[in-house]
Amino acid sequence: MSSDTIKAAIVGATGYGGAELIRLLQAHPHAEVSCVLSSSNSGTPLSESFAHLTNIMDLELEAIEPAAIKAKADVVFLATPAGVSAELTPKLLEQGLKVIDLSGDLRLKDGALYEKWYKRAPASAEVLEQAVYGLSEVYGEAAAGRSAISNPGCFPTATLLGLIPAVKEGWIDPSTIIIDAKTGVSGAGRGTGLGTHYGEINESVKAYKVNAHQHIPEIEQVLGETAGREVVITFTTHLIPMTRGILSTMYASVSGSKSTQDFIELYESFYKGRPFVRIRKNGTMPATKEVAGSNYCDIGFSADERTGRVTIVSAIDNMVKGAAGQAIQNLNLMMGWDEAAGLNFIPMYP
Ligand SMILES: NC(=O)C1=CN([C@@H]2O[C@H](COP(=O)(O)OP(=O)(O)OC[C@H]3O[C@@H](n4cnc5c(N)ncnc54)[C@H](OP(=O)(O)O)[C@@H]3O)[C@@H](O)[C@H]2O)C=CC1
Ligand SMILES: CC(=O)N[C@@H](CCC(=O)OP(=O)(O)O)C(=O)O
């Protein structure tokens, strides 16, 4: 480890997001996991919760005590359910710790909107103000030197990276946007439930949370900022019988006459120098398998002269670019390191 190494604590280490953070941080050149925390399993070794970590991460799970975390860590990743970070973040910041939150608690800047969609009390206005929305390729520069980052949701990451350049340039009419998104079941976390039970999801595809998904206001917030006016979207999520991956298919009316190649060139220029967004050539479309296990977001386009609409398709791994990978990308940006440090994984294929 180099002298600019920092120590990371993971709250929610017994969940999927926590496990993915551990997998990725293990290979990070400037960060090491110094403590793992749990609200229900403290005093047990992490490998008892995750056998795949046997002989790799033998740390014992600890109770969540901000002062004790400060004694062991510089930065805290919160991979916890909604409601936890709203309460915990101010206590961690008071200790002088940096916080990267993977939950939805700090993403919506309007507390009333959070209350409406998440059905819980929001974080304080002060904490919401402090947290930078960490869509790395768009707001990455704002993360430098900051103490709190709200990591974007998995669907918003795939969708916003696919829409922002066209909305920003006025190439699509934001009022016509329709998003059809599919996810693997790991997006629902490790907790068991009827919704992700094998017998319920295997050999089946279903739409869920239609017009009621908590990522709707998050996507609208960012597209509204990008367009400079209110944006309202139609957004439908589908559960697919696969473990990892999100495919977001986006439709919108094109303003003026733009070809598929025009879109490809616009996006290549917008994401120039950003290592984790890959633009597909010649109207070819991405697949979740082509980004699995990696921090890439792959985007493809088809502009249809016949309908005057464009179809934009983006693919990510929900656990990596949609959660732990982007959280580490944000750590890198926060610390002024190479944004790709520790994240140069080739996707697992096939
Ligand atoms: N899975 C994904 O693809 C993505 C997840 N997210 C978000 O990241 C967060 C973590 O998700 P994920 O890892 O999948 O969820 P999991 O359900 O797999 O894990 C969440 C962990 O949080 C801990 N926890 C539960 N209650 C509390 C509490 N009151 N205080 C502290 N810790 C608690 C649990 O561990 P213990 O009982 O040991 O404390 C649990 O293991 C969620 O907010 C999720 O919405 C965001 C993007 C993508
Ligand atoms: C399959 C599945 O259930 N996925 C979850 C992903 C949500 C998530 O990650 O929640 P936050 O981003 O709000 O923290 C869902 O659609 O609600």
- Measured CA to CA in angstroms, residue 168 lies from 41, 73, 345 at distances of 46, 39, 30
pLDDT of residue 37: 98
Domain spans, the chain? 6-130, 155-317
Tens digits of per-residue pLDDT, 187-196?
999 998 888 8
Closest ligand 2 atom, residue 239 Cα:
1
Largest Cα separation within the chain, whole Å, is 63
pLDDT of residue 192: 81
Ligand 1 pocket test, candidate residues 36, 77, 78, 80, most atoms within 8 A of CB: 80
**DSSP-derived pairing of the beta strands 206-208 and 75-78:** unpaired
CATH 3.40.50.150 fits 6-130, yes or no: no
Tens digits of per-residue pLDDT, 133-172?
999 999 999 999 999 999 999 999 999 999 999 999 999 9
Does pTM top 0.95 for this prediction? Answer: yes
Could you tell me the two tokens for 253?
A: 């009316």
CATH fold, domain 155-317, is Dihydrodipicolinate Reductase; domain 2 (3.30.360)
d(CA 319, CA 17): 7
Decide: 1 and 32 in contact? Cβ < 8 Å: yes
Dihedral angle over CA of 70, 72, 78, 80, nearest 10? -110
pLDDT of residue 350: 94
**DSSP-derived pairing of the beta strands 297-304 and 309-316:** antiparallel
Tens digits of per-residue pLDDT, 91-109?
999 999 999 999 999 999 9
CA of 189 to the centre of ligand 1 (A): 6
Would you say residue 3 has pLDDT above 80?
Answer: no
pLDDT of residue 58: 87
Tell me the mean pLDDT in the region 202-230: 98
Could you tell me the two tokens for 20?
A: 């993915």
Q: Which of 214, 203, 205 is nearest to 103 (CA)?
A: 214
Amino acid identity of residue 250, one-letter, is M
Which residues does 261 contact at the CB level (< 8 Å), separation at least 6? none
Tens digits of per-residue pLDDT, 37-83?
999 999 999 999 999 999 999 899 999 999 999 999 999 999 999 99
Our answer on whether the CB atom of 217 is closer than 6 Å to any ligand 2 atom is: no
Angle at 166 between CA 165 and CA 171, to 5 degrees: 145
Would you say residue 2 has pLDDT above 60?
Answer: no
CA of 308 to the centre of ligand 1 (A): 42
**Residue nearest atom 19 of ligand 1, based on CA coordinates:** 15
Q: ipTM of this predicted complex?
A: 0.98
Where does ligand 1 bind, in terms of residues with CB under 6 Å? 11-12, 14-18, 38-41, 64, 79-82, 84, 102-103, 153-154, 186-187, 189-191, 318-319, 322-323
- Band the pLDDT of 327: cuts 50, 70, 90: very high
Our answer on whether the CB atom of 237 is closer than 6 Å to any ligand 2 atom is: yes
**Residue nearest atom 14 of ligand 1, based on CA coordinates:** 189
Closest ligand 2 atom, residue 183 Cα:
1
Residue 180 CB burial class (10 angstroms; 0-12, 13-18, ≥19): middle
d(CA 61, CA 115): 31
CA of 292 to the centre of ligand 2 (A): 18
Our answer on whether the CB atom of 239 is closer than 6 Å to any ligand 2 atom is: yes
Q: Looking at the annotation, which residues are catalytic?
A: 154
